[in-house]
Structure 1
Amino acid sequence: MPIATVNPANGETLRTFDALDEQEIDRRISAAHRAFRVHRTTGFAERARLLNRAADLLDEDREDIARTMTLEMGKPLGAARAEAAKCAKAMRWYAAHAEHLLADEYPDEADVKDSGAARACVRYRPLGPVLAVMPWNFPLWQVMRFAAPALMAGNTGLLKHASNVPQTALYLEDLFSRAGYPEGCFQTLLIGSGAVEAVLRDPRVVAATLTGSEPAGRSVASVAGDEIKKTVLELGGSDPFLVLPSADVAGAARTAVTARTQNNGQSCIAAKRFIVHTDVYDEFAERFTAGMRALTVGDPMEDSTEVGPLSSERGRADLEELVDDAVRRGATVLCGGGRPEHLDGGLERGWFYTPTVLTGITPAMRIHREETFGPVATLYRVTGLDEAVELANDTSFGLSSNVWTRDEEEMDRCVRDLEAGGVFFNGMTASHPALPFGGVKRSGYGRELADHGIREFCNTTTVWYGP
């Protein structure tokens, strides 16, 4: 895949970039290694000063970087502005909390004495240069939820971003440089996927984090495993959205529309499978389908647009194949089901797909098993909680889940039995710097954000002092 900015709203190639050669890659890894030796010795106050300065600059740049993200991957401009603001918020959160999150921990005095020590503690120390392999769908946020905690912990970062968002990737390097970070603390590597293995095998690179597809995660994890290097993986998701009899059905349906179509439906944590109790199925289906049908599809640069194009022609083709397979095998299309009509101004050449609701899904259909990365929802009718939970877990993924109920016993049951990294009641899945984020099963392992995330790339060190 070429490293290029291609506007998904009209298919126009705006800029292309040459990949770094081996000599330049080596130079940048060396710079990251040198920078780590210095950055690791700085105190939290200095790290917080730099990160807060970067957050201030990001706020100043919000409109420009939002337009860049929209041009490169097609998210509505309003969503791009919100993504930039969320990144600045997370940067300030880590600047304020990192020292506390990484403070020395002291075991119980009786246990210390029993170990034969006069005193003991646990200290969190940085590891070194970390490779971040990041996706295009949230091109700023996905990177920042790694970069902010990693830099506050004293690590340095090497970013291999998706090849279709090179200008956003270069902006991130420039942002940290303008904030005053020493050379090498955070760098972008404009390289193709074929060059990732050599970077990860370099002994100066100590760990990796990846957000992306299951095949990409498997590839990075296998190389890192061979090198015995730490990895954190956040991969795909096919999140269930359960609606049970006691739910606020109108509220659930409104939220379901947003949960399915956020970021043009291209989100790992977007609700994708809507599992609805038969007692409220008809009302939910009517409201949800009407909401999906009413969405405005069009130019992502227009503030009135709610759903923009998919990020690539291949991505749309993959989605079309899933929908066509389902329809061919008997699924019913409640709305959408194809490319939108009546687009003009060059948009007819863009990679748009109409918000779609399918029902009558069976296990024989690919869409029952595979992740749908676009504004397509599958709707299921169930007769009870047991059936709902069983269907929710009938997937190889386990990123997050959504449950609408007012029944405390049902809540407890779902927390106990749903196989996911998160359970969100009466709302939709979202990430926040204070809450750990990640999945189970083939959605990956490890956690980002909160104290769990900042400690992933730390050396948890036992410090023991003899009597």
Structure 2
Amino acid sequence: MGIATVNPATGETLRTYEAQGPAEVERRIDAAHEAYRQYRTTPFSERARLMRAAAVLLDEDTEDIARTMTTEMGKPVVAARAEVAKCAKTMRWYADHAEDLLADEHPPQRDVQDAGADFARVHYRPLGPILAVMPWNFPLWQVIRFAAPALMAGNTGLLKHASNVPQTALYLGELFRRGGFPAGCFQTLLIGSGAVEGVLRDPRIAAATLTGSEPAGRSVASIAGDEVKKTVLELGGSDPYIVMPSADLSRAVKTAVTARVQNNGQSCIAAKRFIVHRDVYDTFAERFTAAMNALALGDPLDEDTDVGPLATEQGRADLEVLVDDAVAAGATVLCGGGRPEAYPRGWYYKPTVLTGITPAMRIHHEEAFGPVATLYPVADIEEAVAVANDSPFGLSSNVWTRKEEDIAFFVRDLEAGGVFVNGMTASHPALPFGGVKRSGYGRELAGHGIREFCNVTTVWQRA
């Protein structure tokens, strides 16, 4: 696939771009390296000033960049505006907190003396230029949640964005320059996936972060491992959404719909597998299916649209294969299950609910990246956790219950990087984000995220 903006609502190619050649990539890597040598000593107060200035520009650009994201990957424009606001909030959060998060740590004096020192501390230093390989589904947010902490820690960044969101990628490269960051601090690489290995193997690149598919994560991790470079991976997810008899069912149903179709269902942390206790299963299934069937499918630039098109033609084809496989193996379609006749152009797919899912079906083990929900009735909490954990992924989870003993059980036994109780999984700058199993490793956001790309330095000193 070339580097191009293709409107997923119409299938029309709007703009195409030439990939940067080896000489330009070399120039940008060198610029990132040279910028790092100076920028790493910049005081936190100056980094914060620059980050806040970039956040102001982002606020001012909200309407334009929101419409760009919608045109490039199809998210409803209302959601695109919310994404912009979340990014600006995160930039300000790190501007406010980075210095404290990276403050020196001082071990107890008795331990210092036992180590044979008179004085000791743990000091956080930046690593250098970081390569970020980012996906199209949250084209602004995925980048900012890396860039804000990385830049505030004193690193520089090189962005290899998904090839179907080049305008958003170029905007991000310009945003930090316009905010006053020194030249080379944050740059966009317009390159194909085949050029990533060369960049990652360059000795001036200190580390890498990737959000995307499992195959992409495996590739980057193996190359970085061969080069002995640090990586953070946030990969796929097939998050469980568990509803117990004590749950507030009205809230659970309403939130379930949003949790499944956020970003047109194309979110790693979207709830995908709805695991419901038999005592409330029939009621939940009826209400949930009705609500999914009532969603407004349409033009993502329309303010009243709930669900827009999928971002790519291949993405829709992949989703259709999963649904068709499940139906052929005996699954029942409660609503949706195909392309809408009202939208013959573009890559639309109806909000869909499936039941009768078995481990023999691909959708039981694979991530459905689109507005397709699977329902599972379970007899008790033990079976709920067993079904939830029967997945190669472990990004996040949602549980609905009013019983404290249920909550304690879920927190202890669910194999996931997050447990959200009586609410929908969401990311926030103050909370660490990441997964286990094939959902990746490492953490983004909060103090955990900013320290991922720091040299944790032990300082041992005698008088």
User: Which residue of the partner structure matches residue 389 of structure 1?
Assistant: 385
Task: Please tell me whether residue 370 in structure 1 is matched to residue 370 in structure 2.
Answer: no
Give the equivalent residue in structure 2 for 1:15.
Answer: 15
Alignment deviations for residues 367-416 of structure 1 (CA, whole Å, 9 cap, x no partner): 11110000000000000000000000000000000000001011001000
How many residues align? The count is 463
Deviation for aligned residue 1:115: 1.3
Hey, what does 2:127 align to over in structure 1? Answer: 127
1:355 paired residue among 338, 351, 354:
351
Question: Residue type of the partner of 2:388?
Answer: A
Give 1:432's aligned residue.
Answer: 428
How far apart, in 2, do the equivalents of 1:27 and 1:243 lie? 54
Q: Structure 2: any 5+ residue segments left out of the alignment?
A: none
1:26 aligns with 2:22: no
- 1:403 aligned to 399, 412, 428, which one? 399
- Of the candidates 454, 457, 463, which is equivalent to residue 461 of structure 1? 457
Q: What is the letter of the counterpart of residue 412 of structure 2? A: R
Moved over 3 A (4+): none
TM-score of the pair, normalised by structure 1: 0.99
**Shift, 1:465, TM fit:** 1.1
Counterpart Cα distance in 2 of 1:161 and 1:187: 11
User: What's the CA shift for 1:349?
Assistant: 1.1
Once the two structures are superposed, what CA deviation does each residue of 1:253-282 show, in whole Å capped at 9, x if it has no partner?
000000000000000000000000000001
What displacement does 1:3 show? 0.2
Please tell me whether residue 62 in structure 1 is matched to residue 62 in structure 2.
yes
Structure 2 CA distance for aligned equivalents of residues 8 and 29 of structure 1: 32
Q: After the TM superposition, which residues 407-422 of structure 1 pair with which residues of structure 2 at under 5 Å, given as runs?
A: 407-422=403-418
Q: What residue identity is the alignment partner of 1:226?
A: D
- CA–CA separation in structure 1 for the residues paired with 2:167 and 2:36: 25
Partner of 1:177: 177
Offset of 1:68 from its aligned partner? Answer: 0.2
Structure 2 residue matching 1:349: 3-state secondary structure? coil
Can you list the C-alpha shifts for 1:151-188, whole angstroms capped at 9, x where unaligned? 00000000000000000000001110100111100000
The answer to whether 1:289 aligns with 2:289 is yes
In the alignment, the residues of structure 2 paired with residue 296 and residue 430 of structure 1 have an alpha-carbon distance, to the nearest angstrom, of 23
Give the match for residue 166 of structure 1.
166
Question: What amino acid is the match of 1:349?
Answer: R
Indicate the residue corresponding to 2:52 in structure 1. 52
SS at match of 2:121: strand
Listed as ranges, the matches of 1:146-161 within 5 Å are: 146-161=146-161
User: What root-mean-square deviation, in Å, do the aligned CA atoms of Structure 1 and Structure 2 show?
Assistant: 0.5
1:341 positional shift: 2.0
Report the residue type matching 2:257 in the other structure: V
Q: Per-residue displacement from partner, 1:1-43 (whole Å, max 9, x unpaired)?
A: 1000000000000000000100110000000000001110100
> What residue number does 1:226 align with?
226
Query: Which residue does the alignment assign to 2:301?
Result: 301
Deviation at 1:114, TM superposition (A): 1.2
Name the aligned partner's letter for residue 10 of structure 2. N
Alpha-carbon deviations, 1:99-145, whole Å to 9, x = none? 00000000001111111111110000000000000000000000000
State the Cα distance separating 1:342 from its structure 2 match: 2.0
Alpha-carbon distance in 1 for matches of 2:306, 2:433: 26
- What is the CA-CA distance between 1:237 and the residue it aligns to? 0.3
Q: Distance in 1 between matches of 2:48 and 2:235?
A: 30
The AA in structure 2 aligned to 1:38 is Q
Q: Which runs of 5+ in 1 are unaligned?
A: none
For 2:319 and 2:24, locate their aligned partners in 1 and report how far apart those are by CA, in whole Å: 38
Identity %: 77
TM-score by length of 2: 1.00
